[in-house]
Amino acid sequence: MAVSTIGDSPKRREDARFVTGRGTYLDDLRFDRLARATVLRSPHAHAHVRSIDVSAALSALGVLAVLTAADAAADGLGPLRPYVEANVQTGEPFRFAPQPLLATDKVRFVGEPVALVVAETLAQALDAAELITVDYVALPAVTTTEAACAQDAPQISAEVPGNRCIDWRTGDWPGTEEAFKQAAHVVRLRLDNHRIVTNPMEPRGCVGRFDPADNRYTLHVSSQNIHINRNHVARCLGVEPKDVRFIAPDVGGGFGAKNFAYAEHALILWAARRTGRPVKWVATRSEVFLGDHAGRDMQAEAALALDASGRFLALKVESFANLGAYMAGAGGGVQTYQYVHLQGTVYRIPAIALHVIAVLSNTTPIGVTRGPGFAETVNILERLIDAAALQGGFDRLELRRRNIIAGRDMPMTNSFGFQVDSGAFGDTLDKALARADLIGFAERRRDSERRGLLRGLGVAYHIKGTGGSPEENVDIRFEADGTVSLITGTQHIGQGHETTFPQILAHRLGISNEQIRLCQGDTDLIAAGGGHGSSRATYMGGTAIWRASDTIIAKGLALAADALEAAEADIRFENGRFTVSGTDRAIALLEVAALGRKKKEPLDTYHFWKREHLTFPNGAHVVEVEVDRDTGVVTLVRYTAVDDYGVLVNPMIVEGQAHGAMAQGIGQALMEHATYDPASGQMVAASFMDYSLPRAEHLPSFDLGFNHTRCTTNPLGVKGCGEAGAIAAFPAIANAVLDALAPFGVRNFDGPATPARVWQAIQAAQR
């Protein structure tokens, strides 16, 4: 059997079962006596709840339970709390209100759970939900940071005065102010990194069971972070984590929306205990829009100071994050860690001052999506650079080259004291521009003009820190049938881990990939796990595999020495065999494993580790757009990227991950926008009739190249690859649109670049 190791591109082994319909998603699972649940949700963005009458619903056909906040309180259920409750940098507690599982005296966003109905069938549950009478008293709602910060804004939670969860200044404010005074050029922009809905193909859902024999809950769930979410749900239920088991075999996408616990996770387990039946709930697509954690929604007033030659002197950013109705998941952590970590990105900026404000509003809570915090940082700086070039008369590409941190200066430490270990930023930028045929752009622009179209070119350099949860573990077991079980605390949610993780182990141990079986997605399999988020899995899980392999080889050395009747010092291990140096005497690793089982000295190895550093994928993306001046239609015609992901475990899978992220970034740049009516707080883009996602017709053929620098923070040399395109595409496309519209005098534009918005920008500039 062949051994596919690091750097090979074997086909994804999991695809065979997916394309033949043998995947194990939530709807593929079967349970005896299964009951169905539906959630009654608030139709108001902000309202007092005076009373709830469930009597008619309780007597409806097939109904098993109708549960409200009063029932939850009677059974001792607690609320959801943020995963991060204090400023990561200072330790100062955030101001927040825990999120009740079911609304008590007040609802704070359209879609907030108010009651749970459980019935024999889903149709019966839906019918019964319509019989519940809730007496609401509507209150004024706010949907934007500006409205939430207004002096007369309605108070969303008493625990959050003025609706401000965070109001924090950091960085070198005196140095920044002095640099701005001395600057030859100062450029200012107001930017909106608008709200989006992640919309994974498989909606959120879960099936809960309760076993009275051992007082234990089991939740089959579509989630990308089962161990940590299990812990938070256990706290809501008032039990220990060991009393709750989470299982997620296959997950149909996550993109961050499935990174954290939701009220439904605890509610469905509670309902299973109350009814004595397995209970299933799956979100409708409307519930995905209204209830899933959204992404982005951060505004910034940013300024960049430059000297006469175009050297960056200082950056000043006032940022306003709209957290939605509750500080959910890691919202505060994003604002005080990811967003702060790489201010300045890949450019040398001596002084940076940052003011971070995060507010509550009457909208769906914000969670994370590809590149949280880092995407907002990159967007601000890449937009400022183009604006500075236009205002100061600089060439925008030369301005980047002049300020980008040189390879000879790596590792770099930015003005906030964070270190980036590796990268060849200037070289990567030049390779991307050459690959994009920058020289030929002028002729392509003339060709567009001959066809009556405006052509623009945009560039963005992305970088992010990957790592997510700082702890990870693996358990490697050598089975009696000659196979190896690789048990991980990370999760695959479509990235290809069933292929790449065995590649890593095969590379280290020299055994065939077919003999390695990846086991994951069950909190009973392994003690802990950080799930999948922040492109962490290959870095964190891969490092644990690598270090566990070191231990396995060391254990095997002693057993092999005994079997070969040689000194340990005379034995070397390579290509899956222990060999006596200078001879042909050898024994295979799997034979050694069998000997170890017989001697009660198994090679089975568990390894836990806690990281101290991140990895830093980076790269340059170059796009070209054509704009129809009469209709405002923007067509993305070229997309070129050169990225640095360190060592590639499987280049084919890396390309697929990068392409998917690019598509999502393009969606945000050109069409996606989670929009609310400012008066009522109703979401006005709550279906695919009103919220557009990119299709194949909207995407050019991606031209992706690599410029690898080995990461020094892990033994594999890898860097996370799953989020780069979603970070880079938005500012690159925005810069390209502005370049196309420059003849009209359009100087600023916030996405999405829909035809109506682009046409309006052209008309406004011509007045």
The reply to whether 379 falls in a domain is yes
pLDDT digits (tens, 9 = 90+) for 253-307: 999 999 999 999 999 999 999 999 999 999 999 999 999 999 999 999 999 999 9
Selected residue with higher pLDDT from 324 and 764: 324
State the average pLDDT over residues 744-761: 92
Q: What SS3 string covers 582-634?
A: CCCCEEEHHHHHHHHHHCCCCCCEEEEEECCCCECCEEEEEEEEEECCCCCCE
Do 146 and 121 have their domain in common? Answer: no
Do 455 and 530 have their domain in common? Answer: no
Do 644 and 715 have their domain in common? Answer: yes
State the average pLDDT over residues 463-474: 93
pLDDT value of position 490: 93
The 3-state DSSP class for residue 361 equals coil
Count of structural domains within the chain = 4
Q: pTM value?
A: 0.96
pLDDT value of position 453: 98
In whole angstroms, give the CA distance from residue 84 to residue 93: 9
CATH of the domain at 119: 3.90.1170.50
Would you tell me the crossing angle of helices 425-435 and 396-403 to the nearest 10 degrees? 160
Q: Are 645 and 716 spatial neighbours (Cβ–Cβ below 8 Å)?
A: no
Do 620 and 677 have their domain in common? Answer: yes
Do 686 and 673 have their domain in common? Answer: yes
The reply to whether 8 falls in a domain is no
The reply to whether 553 falls in a domain is yes
Model confidence at 673: pLDDT above 90 = yes
Q: Are strands 351-359 and 312-322 parallel, antiparallel or unpaired?
A: parallel
What is the pLDDT confidence band of residue 74, given thresholds at 50, 70 and 90? very high
The reply to whether 207 falls in a domain is yes
pLDDT digits (tens, 9 = 90+) for 612-623: 999 999 999 999
Percent of the chain residues topping a pLDDT of 90: 96
With tokens 């439904």, the residue in question is 264
pLDDT digits (tens, 9 = 90+) for 485-499: 999 999 988 889 999
The tokens describing 212, both together, are: 């009275």
The reply to whether 544 falls in a domain is yes
Using alpha carbons, select from 543, 535, 542 the residue that is nearest to residue 721. Answer: 535
Using CA atoms, how far residue 341 sits from 75, 352, 471, 664, in Å, is 42, 12, 19, 23
Write down which residue in 551, 586, 610 finishes a domain. 610
pLDDT value of position 502: 96
Do 626 and 549 have their domain in common? Answer: no
The reply to whether 647 falls in a domain is yes
With tokens 């704009």, the residue in question is 627
Do 321 and 380 have their domain in common? Answer: yes
What is the pLDDT confidence band of residue 532, given thresholds at 50, 70 and 90? confident
Through-space distance between the first and last CA atoms of the chain, rounded to whole angstroms: 71
The reply to whether 526 falls in a domain is yes
Q: Are 264 and 257 spatial neighbours (Cβ–Cβ below 8 Å)?
A: no
State the average pLDDT over residues 216-228: 97
Output the furthest CA–CA distance in the chain (Å, rounded): 91
Task: Annotate 636-691 with DSSP letters as a single string.
Answer: EEEEEEEEE-BS-S-HHHHHHHHHHHHHHHHHHHHT----B-TTT--BS--STTTS
Write down which residue in 360, 392, 424 finishes a domain. 392
The tokens describing 312, both together, are: 């960056």
Would you tell me the crossing angle of helices 537-564 and 589-598 to the nearest 10 degrees? 70
Do 149 and 169 have their domain in common? Answer: yes
What is the pLDDT confidence band of residue 2, given thresholds at 50, 70 and 90? confident
What is the pLDDT confidence band of residue 167, given thresholds at 50, 70 and 90? very high
Do 381 and 434 have their domain in common? Answer: no
pLDDT value of position 750: 83
pLDDT digits (tens, 9 = 90+) for 190-212: 999 999 999 999 999 999 999 99
Q: Are strands 185-193 and 164-171 parallel, antiparallel or unpaired?
A: unpaired
Model confidence at 577: pLDDT above 70 = yes
Using alpha carbons, select from 374, 301, 290, 365 the residue that is nearest to residue 331. Answer: 365
What mean pLDDT value characterizes the chain? 96
pLDDT value of position 128: 98
Give the residue numbers spanning the domain of 654: 404-466+614-767
Would you tell me the crossing angle of helices 226-237 and 263-275 to the nearest 10 degrees? 60
Write down which residue in 251, 273, 291 finishes a domain. 291
Do 581 and 522 have their domain in common? Answer: yes
Do 79 and 132 have their domain in common? Answer: yes
Mark out the alpha helices in 100-144 (DSSP H runs): 122-129
Model confidence at 1: pLDDT above 70 = no
Amino acid at 484: V
With tokens 């069933």, the residue in question is 498
In whole angstroms, give the CA distance from residue 510 to residue 579: 13
C-alpha torsion sign, points 241, 244, 249, 252: negative
pLDDT digits (tens, 9 = 90+) for 687-722: 999 999 999 999 999 999 999 999 999 999 999 999
What b/e readout covers 619-640, taking b as 16+ CB neighbours within 10 angstroms? bbbbbbbbbbbeebebbbebbb
Percent of the chain residues topping a pLDDT of 70: 100
Other beta carbons less than 10 A from residue 48's beta carbon = 13
CATH of the domain at 388: 3.30.365.10
Do 302 and 256 have their domain in common? Answer: no
Amino acid at 641: A
The reply to whether 483 falls in a domain is yes
The number of angstroms, rounded, from the C-alpha of 92 to the middle of its chain's C-alpha atoms is: 25
